[in-house]
Amino acid sequence: MATKKLLKGNIALCHGAVAARCDAFFGYPITPQNEVPECMSELMPANGSVFIQAESEVSAINMVYGAACAGKRAMTSSSSPGVSLKQEGISYIAACELPCVIVNVQRGGPGLGTILPGQADYFQAVKGGGHGDYKLLVLAPWSAQECYEFMPLAFDLADKYRNPSMILMDAIIGQMLEPVDMHKNFDIVEYPKPWATNGARGRAHNIINSLWIDPKTMEGLNQKLQAKYADMQVHEVRFKEYQTEDAELVMVAYGSPARICRSVVDMAREEGMKVGLLRPITLFPFPAMQINDMAKDGKRFLVVEMSCGQMVEDVKLAVNGASDVEFYGRSGGAVPTPTEILNEVRARFGKPPVVSHYSSRKESAV
Amino acid sequence: MQKVFERPKGLTDTEFTYCAGCLHSTIHRLIAEIMEEMDIIHQTVGVCPVGCAVFMYEYMACDIIEASHGRAPSVATGVKRMLPDRLVFSYQGDGDLASIGTAEIVHAAGRGENISVIFINNTTYGMTGGQMAPTTLIGQKTTTCPSGRDPHVNGYPIRVCEMLATLDGPSYIERVAPTSPAGMSKTKKAIKHAFQNQIDGKGFSLVEVLSNCPTNWRMTPIDSFKWIDEKMSEFFPVGVFVDR
Ligand SMILES: Cc1ncc(C[n+]2csc(CCOP(=O)(O)OP(=O)(O)O)c2C)c(N)n1
Ligand code: SF4
């Protein structure tokens, strides 16, 4: 019996949200994630849940805030310019320690940019994004299957840490059709939410607030948040390695560039170059310790991103001078080809560049 | 001895921080009395604004949420859609509702969202020190229109009730002025009606309360009441705009 369905990443994540028993979706259309609100407008009511197309991203994230206050599982989805608009609300949600899930199907920017894929919202996603000292739990799927599976994970982590989670993907992952195994059983944990503002019957009134005028109280809250983020750093780091054991050069990439890099590892290995790939799955918390261990082991790094260089800074921080970190990036909607990356790898092994492999079997396997 | 007047159960013991003579205090008390009389304290979720009423979460005995500036109608929407059997109200100033949060209030009203909005119009930004609001009257002096609001420079004041009354979504819109005992009981009746509407599932209600800001208006509380009755109510007439 066929257990797999051919789905776009954007659609797979909607099914993942339903599997996560998401109570509400609030969104506003923006390419390349329009399939998400479209699909959710069918899936949510069909499952007895709420779908609202808000008048703006600003409103959508504040509806998420209200629904999260009510103790329910709420999410929103958008793409780069829309996620910028959500930042104020995200900062409030993080400050109030409310759980929710925000999806960013990134396009190229800055500004209105392009609807083609990008990864230039990395800083915004992992360094806070809005005002103040806060962090999101950031998960980066590289396949439609992971889009599906990361939704229950994102909701679970959000509830566990009372913190917003973000699914940070790019337009390729959102738009690509892939087989998705939907017969996975997720353990959905029901977290008690005694803090929810859902009517004070039989208890003192609950207040959800992020205004703390007294600096001691405000700093105390910041320290509490930082301790939570440190806890995530210990318990929630997720990453995948490919051929890193004996690698001299480790590529670091996430999302669709990581898939291209995996092919490049195979191509390089065929030519005798010892290359591997480390793919961070949680961009925050970042696999810094693991990268540092590799650096101390003498491995060098090549970071590949669809940006002008953002995650490379976290890799450099992780390496902390123990080894070399170099960067190759394309931006504004341009996607690096395997040949381009292979040539970057060849240069690091003192080999001359090769001409395009575009018609090769491996290239089309990407 | 018989107690004839006491603190309503809808209020906590926390002292208000409002300026002397400010109607925010009165309106809070009315909401608290209504919650007690309707026996809904335990099933009400309030959404407070950014403005002088930002500390409202400390005063009300119901569950309560602090929203960011202007976004209370969206936060209230999120709560209400999740908990349709709870009473959800937002409380917003004119800066909050008629300026930064115009889109949110228009669309919550347009959706006919089943929430109750209490809109405090004091024609100024009280909390930040008396700057011009969208509701500041022509000729009225504020710290950002020091020689008086000039429509050619600052545009015209916005009448929120009249504007929202053009929409099909709202079920009840009324403007009141609690500057007299009669005005206060009208205000209370209006807010109660808005809450009852919500309980009856009739959809969006908004009560605009003409309020004062003696501090930034640089008036005594008594003069501020007079100014509401004489100047403000001329541009913002009290009355029912929608009730269906
Ligand atoms: C995004 C944002 N912009 C500006 C402010 C600053 N701010 C705080 S209160 C306020 C005006 C409030 O005026 P109003 O809503 O009329 O309420 P009042 O203080 O008069 O009761 C402003 C501009 C803020 N907190 N957040
Ligand atoms: S500043 Fe004005 S609106 Fe604010 S509490 Fe004082 S009098 Fe009331």
Q: How confident is the model over A238-249, as a mean pLDDT?
A: 98
The pLDDT of residue A2: 60
Q: Do residue A62 and residue B75 have CB atoms under 8 angstroms apart?
A: yes
pLDDT above 80 for A356: no
Give the burial string for A132-141 (b: 16+ CB within 10 Å, else e): eebbbbbbbb
Name the band, by pLDDT with cuts 50, 70 and 90, for residue A184.
confident
- Identify all chain A residues contacting B63, using CB atoms and an 8 Å cutoff: 197-200, 205-207
The pLDDT of residue A365: 43
The residues, ordered by sequence, that sit 6+ positions from A191 with a Cβ below 8 Å of its Cβ are A99, A159, A160
Residue A362 Cα distances to A68, A266, A267, angstroms: 46, 9, 8
Question: Rounded to a whole number, what is the distance in angstroms from the first to the last CA of chain B?
Answer: 45
Q: How confident is the model over A120-131, as a mean pLDDT?
A: 98
pLDDT above 80 for A19: yes
The residues, ordered by sequence, that sit 6+ positions from A2 with a Cβ below 8 Å of its Cβ are none
- C-alpha closest to that of A203 among B66, B42, B118: B42
Q: Is A199 on the interface with B (CB under 8 A)?
A: yes
- Identify all chain B residues contacting A92, using CB atoms and an 8 Å cutoff: 67-68
Q: Which atom of ligand 2 is nearest to the CA of B17?
A: 5
Q: ipTM of this model?
A: 0.96
Per-residue HEC secondary structure of B22-48 comes to CHHHHHHHHHHHHHHHCCCHHHEEEEE
Looking at residue A194, the DSSP 8-state letter turns out to be T
Q: Do residue B104 and residue A197 have CB atoms under 8 angstroms apart?
A: no
- Lookup: tokens for B168: 């099909």
- Complete edge-to-edge strand list for the sheet that includes strand B63-66: A207-208, B63-66, B44-48, B87-93, B116-121, B205-210, B172-176, B239-243
Neighbours of B168 (CB within 10 A): 10
Looking at residue A72, the DSSP 8-state letter turns out to be -
Between CA A331 and CA A311 the distance in angstroms is 13
Q: Which residue has the tokens 């004839």?
A: B4
Between CA B85 and CA A72 the distance in angstroms is 15
The pLDDT of residue A357: 54
Neighbours of A262 (CB within 10 A): 22
Between CA A75 and CA A19 the distance in angstroms is 13
Q: How deeply is B115 buried, as exposed, middle or buried, from its count of CB atoms within 10 A (0-12, 13-18, 19+)?
A: buried
pLDDT in tens, A247-291: 999 999 999 999 999 999 999 999 999 999 999 999 999 999 999
Residue nearest atom 2 of ligand 1, based on CA coordinates: B69
Q: Which residue has the tokens 């028993």?
A: A21
Q: Do residue A69 and residue B66 have CB atoms under 8 angstroms apart?
A: no
* Bridge partners of residue B243, in order along the sequence: B172
pLDDT above 70 for A190: yes
The pLDDT of residue B149: 98
**Greatest C-alpha distance within chain A:** 74
pLDDT above 50 for A363: no
pLDDT above 80 for A366: no
Ligand 1 interacting residues, C-beta cut-off 6 A: B 49-53, 69, 93-96, 120, 122, 124-128, 133
The pLDDT of residue A355: 86
Between CA B32 and CA A245 the distance in angstroms is 67
8 A C-beta contact, residue B7 and residue B33: no
Between CA B216 and CA B126 the distance in angstroms is 7
Q: How deeply is A3 buried, as exposed, middle or buried, from its count of CB atoms within 10 A (0-12, 13-18, 19+)?
A: exposed
Residue A234 Cα distances to A46, A69, A230, A320, angstroms: 39, 28, 7, 19
Q: How confident is the model over A9-14, as a mean pLDDT?
A: 98
Mutate to test the interface with A, among B68, B114, B117 (most CBs of A within 10 A): B68
Name the phi and psi angles at A315, rounded to 5: -65, -45
Between CA A299 and CA A250 the distance in angstroms is 7
Rounded CA Rg of chain A: 21
What are the DSSP calls for A245-303, one per residue?
A: TT-SEEEE--HHHHHHHHHHHHHHHHTT--EEEEEESEEES--HHHHHHHHHTT-EEEE
8 A C-beta contact, residue B104 and residue B78: no
Between CA B47 and CA B42 the distance in angstroms is 15
- C-alpha closest to that of A260 among A362, A161, A361: A362
Looking at residue B97, the DSSP 8-state letter turns out to be I
Ligand 1 centroid distance, CA of A84 (Å): 22
Name the band, by pLDDT with cuts 50, 70 and 90, for residue A358.
low
Between CA A143 and CA A178 the distance in angstroms is 8
Which residues of chain B, if any, have pLDDT below 70?
none
Between CA A58 and CA A83 the distance in angstroms is 9
Q: Is A87 on the interface with B (CB under 8 A)?
A: no
- C-alpha closest to that of A115 among A105, A125, A124, A123: A105
- C-alpha closest to that of B82 among A21, A18, A192, A50: A50
8 A C-beta contact, residue A148 and residue A19: yes
Mutate to test the interface with B, among A50, A76, A205, A213 (most CBs of B within 10 A): A205
Between CA B194 and CA B235 the distance in angstroms is 23
Q: Do residue B104 and residue A23 have CB atoms under 8 angstroms apart?
A: no
- Give CA A226 to chain center in angstroms: 20
Residue A3 Cα distances to A6, A9, A19, A106, angstroms: 10, 17, 15, 30
- Percentage of residues in chain A with pLDDT exceeding 70? 97
| Average model confidence (pLDDT) across chain B | 98
